[in-house]
Structure 1
Amino acid sequence: MRLGVGMKTWTYSAFGGPDNLELTHQDLPEPGPGTVRIKVRAAAVNPVDWKIMAGGLSDVLPVLFPATIGWDVAGVVDAVGYGVQEFAVGDEILADNMQDFVSRGSMAEYTIVPVRVAAKKPQALSFVEAASLPLAGQTALQGVDHLGLSKGDTLLIHNASGGVGRVAVQYAVHQGIRVIGSASESNHDALRAMGAEPVSYGDGLADAVRALAPDGVDGVYDAVGGVTDVSAALMATGASIISIADPSVIALGGTWLWVNPNSADTARLADLAAQGIITPHIDKIFSFDQVPAAYQHNMDGHTRGKVVVDVTA
């Protein structure tokens, strides 16, 4: 135990908004069996972070106060726990550090990561790019895979310009799936550049999709919520649907998807990004002392891609 050695970390001790976040000093954590400690270089903001902080998922994920916020992380292995053979001190890794409780998060100078959710960071990716990938990227990959579509099938992605949607678009297009993506008009050029056919969300969405897919779509990836009825009206016979935001899709025989972080999918995602098949899109980078502002920015909406904190800045 390295007595007297501490770290800075952004914690909250009660449910609430970004104003509840405090920059505190905590003891340096020691890795246990099957885990590594990393010196954090970058950490990404996800909506699930502030939903947990607000108490919205307390029935699903217990929160142990004071809790350090954040899951997505990229950094350098600083110490390894008993039995760890996958990584060594000095390895650069990335992870969606989701666990079965909320306590030791990524918005800290150091954090503990189970090896089961981590993968080595390709040299082609910066730490900021790597940190932006794990949660949204694995959610996208696992969702598209779950839909079971084939080359030439048509997939409708709601909120295609968001953090999950952008990865889902690129991954599906790479597999030869035709993608129709809903987004605001200001994001249509970006979607076209990724190989999708954009439509505007809101009034007129159904007519716009029908004009592109008169026989209906073969799959729907809902990354926004509140669109189950319009999705049902646009699905061809036998079509599949998932949602990461709305359990009402279960009534359609669909799946309410909860990401399953694992090292294999993290490595697969990192490799796709290193090859340029998936391009991380960073909306804005904040410094470590701006963590509350980073979460407020994400909560305000209209982000294009990911919000990332450079912990070294």
Structure 2
Amino acid sequence: MRARAVTYTGPGGEEVISIAERVVRAPKSGEVRVKVAAAAVSPTDVLLRKTGGPAPFRPVTPGMDLAGTVESVGPDVTRLAVGDEVMAAVLPVREDGGGQASYVVVPAASVVARPKTASLVEASTLPMNGLTALYALEIAGLKPGQVFAVSGGAGYMAGFAIAFAKEQGLRVIADAKIEEMDKVAGLGADVVVPRGSDFAGAVLKEFPEGVDALLDTALLGESSFPAIRDGGVYIPVRGWSDPESEARIRIKPVMVPDVFERTEWLEKLADAVDKGVIAPGVYGEFSPERVAEAQRLTMAGGMRGRAVIVF
């Protein structure tokens, strides 16, 4: 079978993007092949394009999450069936490539039924951000009543983290622009401080001893460390080059590909949508030929949802 796919011919600018045909193999044991309806765009796609990342295969197809219909299943797959409408998390830096292709082979463990109350386009925006939020909370390892801070509280993934933190009985503080403070409070944040140049100072005014963990979706880095109590946890979302740079706190990056096969978490995301705990967000729909535009909008920031490539 052949598929249309967004591809990078190598690292570089938008000139390395092309729409090409690629061969899509049959699924093996523990895999399914999905006819992709929609695949979300993320900053990781742009980082992979610019740097080439760790991808040993060329060309590279980006996209870390998708939604579509199961087209065929491997010989031992029983949980999923042909015709199921599903969403999935997928790693682009592999020979089979990422989600931005019309057909993709994916480990069955990374595939679950889409939420009943969400379209396939909406479902494609859930896996990576939702898994990141759940993994961050697992990394934080907090108990009910402890304080969890989220920078960039109005962001899409931050909203998931706030909602799930409240489900776990945590106290949540987040920041937001003045016009978005009510929205963030509506997600469940106990305290919302105005977004500004001194996030740590604003947090310490509310919690003078510091918070127990901080999920840094706004990429504040070391300037946010004073907000964390001694022995607390700093959780960056884009990795961290020097895990020993601050002895007073623990730095634990969230590397979401580590949990792409946590089937129960993907199912939790779908259930949370159906129960109204979280909501999918679609900023806009783009054809594969408009992927460069979708990437530019993604990197410009301020999107409260994801740009989605629709096949």
Same-fold status (TM-score > 0.5)? yes
Structure 1: stretches of 5+ with no match in the other structure = none
Distance 1:6 1:166 in 2: 37
Q: Sort the Cα spacing of 1:246 and 1:225 in 2 relative to 1 into closer, same or farther, 3 A.
A: farther
Mapping of 1:171-190 within 5 angstroms?
171-190=164-183
Distance 2:300 2:134 in 1: 26
User: Which deviates further from its counterpart, 135-144 or 268-277?
Assistant: 268-277
What CA distance in whole angstroms lies between the structure 1 residues aligned with 2:300 and 2:148?
A: 28
Query: Any idea what SS the aligned residue of 2:51 has?
Result: coil
Residues 178-217 of structure 1 correspond to what in structure 2 (within 5 A)?
178-196=171-189, 197-217=191-211
SS of the aligned residue for 1:51 comes to: helix
Match of 1:27 in 2: 23
1:13 to 3, 9, 13: 9
Q: What is the root-mean-square deviation in Å for CA atoms of aligned residues?
A: 2.1
Q: Given the alignment, which residue of 201, 214, 219 partners 2:213?
A: 219
| C-alpha distance in 1 between matches for 2:310 and 2:92 | 23
Deviates more, 1:215-224 or 1:34-43: 215-224
Structure 2 unaligned regions, length at least 5 = none
Kindly provide the amino acid, as one letter, of the partner of residue 123 in structure 1: K
How far residue 157 of structure 1 moved from its aligned partner, in angstroms, is 0.7
Deviation at 1:170, TM superposition (A): 1.1
SS in 2 for 1:141: helix
Contact 1:243–1:249 under 8 Å retained in 2: no
**Is the alpha carbon distance of 1:99 and 1:225 closer, same or farther for their aligned partners in structure 2, counting shifts above 3 Å?**
same
| Distance in 2 of aligned mates of 1:195 and 1:144 | 15
Match of 2:302 in 1: 302
Equivalent-residue separation in structure 2 for 1:137 and 1:226 (angstroms): 21
Greater shift after overlay, 275-284 or 179-188?
179-188
Q: 1:220 touches 1:242 (CA, 8 Å); kept in 2? A: yes
Q: Which residue of 2 aligns with 1:265?
A: 265
Q: Is the CA contact (8 Å cut-off) linking 2:239 and 2:254 kept in structure 1?
A: no
The yes-or-no answer on 1:168 pairing with 2:168 is no
With normalisation by structure 1, the TM-score equals 0.89
Per-residue deviation, residues 169-222 of structure 1 (Å, max 9, x unmatched): 111122222211123334323212212232234423233212222232121111
What secondary structure sits across from 2:91 in the alignment? coil
Q: Deviations over 1:83-107 (max 9, x none)?
A: 2222111111111112663652211
Contact 2:9–2:58 (8 Å) recurs in 1:
yes
Match of 1:127 in 2: 120
1:1-313 pair list within 5 angstroms = 6-55=2-51, 57-58=53-54, 62-98=55-91, 101=94, 103-196=96-189, 197-231=191-225, 233-247=226-240, 248=242, 250=244, 251=246, 252-259=249-256, 260-262=259-261, 263-311=263-311
Cα contact 1:185–1:200 (8 A) shared by 2: yes
In structure 2, distance between residues paired with 1:271 and 1:18? 37
What is the alpha-carbon distance in structure 2 between the residues aligned to residue 102 and residue 234 of structure 1? 42
CA distance 1:100–1:284, shift in 2 (3 Å): closer
How far apart, CA to CA, are the structure 1 residues paired with 2:96 and 2:178?
A: 39
Moved >6 Å (runs of 4+): none
8 Å CA contact retained: 1:244, 1:257: yes
Cα distance change on mapping 1:202 and 1:270 into 2, 3 Å: same
CA contact (8 A) 1:64 1:103 kept: no
- Give TM-score scaled by structure 2 length: 0.89
Q: In the aligned structure 2, how far is the partner of 1:102 from the partner of 1:45?
A: 20
CA distance 1:67–1:143, change in 2 (3 Å): same
Measured after TM superposition, the shift of residue 28 of structure 1 is 4.1
What is the distance in 2 between the residues matched to 1:67 and 1:147? 33
Q: Aligned-pair distance for 1:39?
A: 0.8
Q: CA deviation at 1:282?
A: 2.4
